[in-house]
Structure 1
Amino acid sequence: MEVSVHGKNVEGAIRAFRKKTQKDGVVKESRQRNNGFEKPSRREKRKREESIIRRRKVRKGETVF
């Protein structure tokens, strides 16, 4: 992942980096891996909930007025 710094705006670059990592799910995945074992039933529930959220986001973008 790459973020360019324009001038001396390091704070802006850090903000952009955080936003990109959050959007890609890097931090969330890292935390899940560090917590160790996840029960299969919990994993299925989490995947189902993530799927629902993704579908809602797609549907929200398809709204035509």
Structure 2
Amino acid sequence: MQVLVRDNNVEQALRVLKKKMQREGVFREMRSRRAYEKPSEKRAREKAEAIRRNRKAARKLAIREGLIAGPARKPPQQRTPRPSAA
């Protein structure tokens, strides 16, 4: 994994690196490898994750088909012009 540091801005490069690692699942894997997980616990966890994924997919499909109401949308905010610094 590689991140470019632009204009010596290390803070921004770290944020980008963390986001990439999060997307790749590195943090989740580190947490899971921290301690031994019994095979029975692993099966139970994986089953719970699958159930959660399926429920989420079913909920999204139901919202898309109009069977249930989706989350309420926020009204667009009015933008106020900024005072000029001149």
Quickly name the TM-score band, shorter chain normalised: 0.5 to 0.7
Instruction: Name structure 2 gaps, 5 residues minimum.
Output: 67-86
Q: Which residue of 1 aligns with 2:31?
A: 31
Q: Which residue of 1 aligns with 2:78?
A: none
Following the alignment from structure 2 to structure 1, what is the Cα–Cα distance between the partners of residues 29 and 43? Answer: 15
Deviations 1:10-60 (A, max 9, x none): 10110111111112111221122121x212221012222333454536x74
Following the alignment from structure 2 to structure 1, what is the Cα–Cα distance between the partners of residues 41 and 65? Answer: 36
- For normalisation by structure 2, the TM-score amounts to 0.54
- For normalisation by structure 1, the TM-score amounts to 0.66
Bigger Rg, structure 1 or 2: 2
Larger proportion of helix: 1
How many corresponding residue pairs?
A: 64
Following the alignment from structure 2 to structure 1, what is the Cα–Cα distance between the partners of residues 29 and 17? Answer: 16
- What root-mean-square deviation, in Å, do the aligned CA atoms of Structure 1 and Structure 2 show? 2.8
Using CA pairs under 8 Å that are at least 6 residues apart, name the structure with larger relative contact order, 1 or 2. Answer: 1
Q: SS where residue 2 of structure 1 aligns?
A: coil
Instruction: Name structure 1 gaps, 5 residues minimum.
Output: none
**Mapped pair 1:50 → 2:40:** no
Q: % of aligned pairs identical? A: 43
